[in-house]
Structure 1
């Protein structure tokens, strides 16, 4: 008789424990705002045909002169696609501005995985995208500088570019190492979350899918080293891109003046450079805007959630817009895309026009034969 009450007490406590776990799971699965989700869905509908056309044109282009450069372009498109998929589908960040907290509400399994891991993966995709565009510009820079052998300053600039590129590799490696060291901070997330003023209003912030930045302190932590290394890498990368771009344009002007290459080759190089400049601009603006909104809202402590969600939707489109710029300003890809789109949307018009042209030619030939002319 005395044994059964102990079993019932144990059963009730176990049931309460299971209910607590169930409630916590339901809280962690709280969806993102509906308008924000609809905006991301619209962005996907816009981006999908652009990526399909990009992969088709890269596959269909068989020119031997374009073979190596096409691999660089394909790598860049793939990195764009993976980053956008991870940001808008897997992560789908939810903002709580002006507090430095982000919760990831995309894939279901993120409910049980620490959000810091998702952030690390996002950084790797951003780094791969940046390096892919940098290698595209470096590849074009080497081709242009190797064709201009008469200028000493171009040879010196090539040495400078190589050294700065090595420095950037070192800082990128340090950034990755600091990111790995920052994993230790993921175990302190609970203590930081408990200090938030909105923890009672938004209990989902206790979930592992939510990540918060610790308040500034006098101690140097891996996250501070990571931020500093990222900042230096951006500065060095910007200097490297500006140097390669400006030297390449000046070298093309010299090639025109010295008539060392054909005008068609020079025009091709200039078109590729314009395409790269447009892609860099798209990445800088559409990725820099969300970061600007986030930092400004935290520093000046104002509610920037609405603007922040718009910025995230724009960031989810940055890869597609960069890929679109690549197609538009790369003549071989543009020619393939234009012919394919024309054959898809105007197949009958083309056939009718061709038939009418042939019939008019035959009628003119018959009338000339009849008139003896």
Structure 2
């Protein structure tokens, strides 16, 4: 039996505080991203320009795409299919995952001898990782027509199983439900995501250990200041990676728990989406805190403004002093 739902029920608004945070707080992050990208591109080395590209990716995803996709974003207004929005959000997260690995690869290439065996192994791991990243959307794209029809089938089966105890809003075009684990496409995508997570963990661990080992070897024939700078850059990179992982993995794990078990608290879901949406901002803040060249670049950018303001204030004081005399 096919069920229908009135359009107005599909366009019910989320809590006001959530809408304000999701759609307008991102505007506050624009100066943060703008200053960081400008400093990284124009004031620092090639390595920092790569980080600038990573921040640009975060900014593009966070400010434009992520607020528009889930939970009463623009996708709801235009009645975009929920499965398409879910796939888009998933591949945006995968895109961020790739950009994080690229930063580790660039740092690794700068330090490690490119003729060594470990370098070849890491390069091959990256190739395999990229292969799976390309394979996942290809599978999803080819199976999309079947997945869309199965979504409707699974929704009706859900109603039949629980005697219409399920909210009718689940039939909205913008809603998406988790298919059975036995679904072929779901099984393939979950397998690919698991492989990507394992490969990502191996790549990050291998590159970090390789860089630390190389820095220990370099300490005997390089200045302490140079080695300290390289360690600082690595620490900054690791902290950024941890911020991304924590702010992505915890919400995703919560959503997976909600899929397998029952999670009736909508507030947790709203918080999870907000955390995912602002992980790029927190990663950028961590990069600024742990990277001294970037701090110096930002200080240099604002120093003329501060000095000019101080000069104006001193001039005003001098004028008042002269008048009092």
TM-score by length of 1: 0.74
Matches within 5 A, 1:16-165: 24-41=6-23, 43-61=25-43, 63=44, 66=45, 68-85=46-63, 88-93=66-71, 105-107=72-74, 111-146=78-113, 155-165=116-126
Question: Offset at 1:224?
Answer: 1.2
Q: Which residue of 1 aligns with 2:261?
A: 300
TM-superposed CA distance for 1:332, in Å, is 2.5
For the Cα contact (< 8 Å) 2:104–2:204, is it kept in 1? yes
Tell me how far apart the structure 1 counterparts of residues 312 and 290 of structure 2 sit (CA, whole Å). Answer: 29
Which position in structure 2 is the counterpart of 1:208? Answer: 173
User: Does structure 2 conserve the Cα–Cα contact (< 8 Å) formed by 1:28 and 1:111?
Assistant: no
Q: Aligned ranges for residues 133-282 of structure 1 at < 5 Å?
A: 133-146=100-113, 155-183=116-144, 184-194=146-156, 195-196=158-159, 197=162, 202-217=167-182, 220-256=183-219, 258-259=220-221, 261-282=222-243
Q: Distance in 2 between matches of 1:164 and 1:353?
A: 60
Aligned counterparts of 1:269 and 1:111: Cα–Cα separation in 2: 48
C-alpha distance in 2 between matches for 1:198 and 1:252: 64
**Could you report, residue by residue, the CA deviation over 1:303-324 in whole angstroms, capped at 9, with x for unpaired residues?**
2322222222122110011112
Farther-moved stretch of structure 1 (229-238 vs 123-132):
123-132
The one-character-per-residue Cα deviations of 1:170-209 (angstroms, maximum 9, x if unpaired) are: 2223223222234121122222222245967643322211
Aligned pair count reads 310
The answer (yes or no) to whether the contact 2:83–2:148 under 8 Å persists in 1 is yes
Indicate how the Cα distance of structure 1 residues 90 and 279 shifts in structure 2: closer, same or farther if over 3 A, else same.
Answer: same
Deviating more after overlay: 105-114 vs 137-146: 105-114
In 1, the alpha carbon distance for the partners of 2:93 and 2:61 equals 7
The reply on whether 1:288 has 2:288 as its aligned counterpart is no
Deviation of 1:242 after TM superposition, in Å, equals: 0.7
Say which SS state the counterpart of residue 210 (structure 1) adopts. coil
Give TM-score scaled by structure 2 length.
0.84
Q: Which runs of 5+ in 2 are unaligned?
A: 318-325
1:332 matched to 2:310: no
Report the 3-state secondary structure (helix = DSSP H, G, I; strand = E; otherwise coil) of the residue aligned with 2:278: helix
Q: Name the CA distance, whole Å, in 1 between partners of 2:74 and 2:300.
A: 38
Counterparts of 1:251 and 1:354, CA distance in 2:
54
State the Cα distance separating 1:345 from its structure 2 match: 6.0
1:235 Cα offset (Å):
0.5
Distance 1:290 1:156, change over 3 A: same
Distance 2:216 2:24 in 1: 43
Query: SS of 2:176's equivalent?
Result: strand
- Deviations along 1:99-155, whole A, 9 cap, x unmatched? xxxxxx2005654321222222222222221111111111111111139x9xxxxx2
* Closer/same/farther in 2, CA of residues 239 and 200 from structure 1, 3 Å limit: same
CA distance in 2, matches of 1:350, 1:161: 54
**Secondary structure, counterpart of 1:113 in structure 2:** coil
Distance 2:64 2:241 in 1: 20
Q: Is contact 1:199–1:205 with CA below 8 Å preserved after alignment?
A: no
